[in-house]
Chains A and B, each alone.
Chain A
């Protein structure tokens, strides 16, 4: 009997332990299935890439970061087209298909630098969604190695630049070149110091009111003059406004305006008469006879001038014949000498004989 009781107690204790353990296990399985994929239908989707990026089977597939399935298989596609060498079969929850537009793009991503890789699908904008067995377009993302390889050229050129900069800096340190002298040469500093001292002296002089600039700034005489000038101008303006003086009257007096208007009217009348050919000037402008007479006169003058140029007649000879010029020249020279002689010996020529009858 005692043995039976012992067995019952044992059964009870074992039963309680088993229930506790199974409740824990059940809770965990419930948690896993509530967010998991045990009872969710999956459909295949395919994507093609140039490189598998060491993608492992059962890696998660995410749609904008939300897990929607897993990678079922990664295999060579046998397709020679660029970027299609690897076929990745995705197992996506059927109820998620309606959230994947046809223009969505898939790419390999990693949770962090060390983390496991996954396929991330970026949602497109199309209203049409993918069908089961459809293809998700792949976006080629350069892996870490490719980035390193492509940055090699950049690093090489950067090194070249740095070498050259190094040379320049060493030259500057040695005090070579303009920049080097600027930094290393004490002469420049001295020069700068002197300039600063001079500028300071000038500023001091200006401050003390010396020189033109100083006086301009500190002497009140200039200001007074300008002030007076402005005052005078003010007076002039006032006079003008009041109609005093000629300019003032010009501005304000109606008489001047009237006279000007009358003058303009007369001028207009004069011009009208001229146009009508009245008076001497009018005829000059309008009468054809006068123009013809003038033309004839001018022709005659022309002929006369041509004759002169050709050396015809007395005036013509005078213009063109050098003999006449030379003889005149000789005559004037002789006359000059004669006059000189007369001045020197007036008695020789001025013999005035006074005789009274």
Chain B
């Protein structure tokens, strides 16, 4: 039983150690700026299409679903409000993070895993380069920078999707939709919508890098590490979103 528990506890400890080192490296030379920008390009710009599509359709679906429920209370005009609140507070950060987790946590784990199994990491270390400084920190910073930006774009595209549905099928006027959408939002909503992806970005990048750096068992191990990274990162996103929401809801009311 103790041996069974030892593994996960060790993993948690390793992830936190890795995170501590990665964050510590932010304030330590050398800075791998080019690596960071490349990672930003891969994580941010590369995820843009999938994030836009996800956001757009989730917003459109939200408008369709909620308008039915709201029509029961004669409040169909409030569709914009519901769409904006759900997207900005919850769906935007969560879906964007899940997409990035699925796309990039797996990418990081497989990339670093391949390097690990081909002993490139060891070679790097032998050449005097800190693999965490070179590989983990740029990925972590790139994710932390791009994920909130991606979330903002996803929120906007999602509300735009809801707007298209509202004016085309629900008979709500454009100004009515947009006014109710932005009037429903509060600073706490925006803060929540930015704090969440920022927090998730650490979970995604650190989990991806951790599983990549701890890959064992050759190419098979790379596949396993990739799967585990995606699963754990996704689950962590849901757990974290619950706690962050709890903090914000508890603070507001």
Contact = CB atoms under 8 A, between A and B. Distances in A.
Interface of A: 3-4, 6-7, 9-11, 13-14, 17-18, 20-22, 24-25, 28-29, 31-32, 35-36, 38, 56-58, 114
Given A7-B37, A9-B41, A13-B45, A28 B190 contact: yes
Nearest to A7: B34
Contacts of A18: 44, 145, 149
Contact of B44 (A14, A24, A58): A14
Interface centre among A6, A11, A14, A35 (most CB of B within 10 A): A14
A58 B148 CA distance: 27
Nearest to B40: A14
Nearest to A36: B187
Contacts of A21: 148-150, 152-153
Given A7-B34, A7-B37, A14-B40, 4 more contacts: A10-B37, A17-B48, A25-B190, A56-B253
Given A9-B41, A10-B37, A17-B146, A31 B182 contact: yes
A3 B35 CA distance: 10
Interface in B134-164: 145-146, 148-150, 152-153, 155-156
A25 B37 contact: no
Closest 5 A/B residue pairs (Cβ):
A10-B41, A21-B149, A13-B45, A14-B40, A21-B152
A35 B190 contact: no
Contacts of A31: 182
A106 to B, nearest CB: 22
A32 B182 contact: yes
Contact of A29 (B38, B73, B150, B190): B190
B185 to A, nearest CB: 6
Q: Interface residue tally of chain B, by bracket? A: 20 to 34
B252 interface: yes
Contact of B185 (A3, A9, A28, A38): A28
Contacts of A38: 187
Contact of A14 (B45, B152, B252): B45
A207 B175 CA distance: 77
Contacts of A25: 152, 190
B129 interface: no
13 contacts: A10-B45, A11-B37, A13-B41, A14-B44, A17-B48, A17-B153, A20-B153, A21-B150, A24-B153, A24-B156, A32-B185, A32-B187, A114-B73
B183 interface: yes
Contacts of B253: 56-58
Contacts of A29: 190
B37 A14 contact: yes
Given A7-B38, A21-B152, A35-B183, A14 B190 contact: no
Contacts of B42: 10
Interface in B27-42: 34, 37-38, 40-42
Interface centre among A7, A25, A32 (most CB of B within 10 A): A25
A280 to B, nearest CB: 114
